[in-house]
Structure 1
């Protein structure tokens, strides 16, 4: 068996932090699963309670926990074990969202786990800081 005939197991990415769409789905599924573990679910719940639906406190309490949960998974796939690694992973996933509906769906699910739903102001409420004349 030559080196070109290796079985198609989950290959390591060619470059640190670069994944194919199929690999990205696997990693994304693992990240989502990690948020569902009892320990991480408890950590996220505590962070949500501390944030009290305050956006500033969400950034202070919830985002660091969410970042850590993702780091713990993605470091095994060549991403750096820091905030920059999570940002690179997020950009990679974003790049596949328009090409793959399954990735887009999973990405939305992941975001919903740590980002509050965005509510738009009522139509016509204020000018949004834009001067009108």
Structure 2
């Protein structure tokens, strides 16, 4: 009997993992903000934390699935996630990419690559 696999590509696996974790983290963050006394001024900190952890885990799974070149698969997962977010922002909210977007691209690549490096080292040899 064949097992069901979503994709054979480590990058797609990492992107799907990252997007699922971002959705779950956003739900938890919104519930936390709704039912606690924390103000919306702290929202950027929650957003960056949820995205950072999600990118780290997505890069981890991409590196683990790739089995080698974890920085490559994790970094491309982070960069692809960044491009998806910029595309959604541009098409849905008419927010044009700015120069500081390059900083976010670098951040996404580095965090994803770090997760990928750890994922390769945790993979079964």
TM category, shorter? 0.3 to 0.5
More helix by share: 2
Q: TM-score, normalised by structure 1?
A: 0.35
> Which of the two has higher C-alpha Rg?
1
Q: TM-score, normalised by structure 2?
A: 0.37
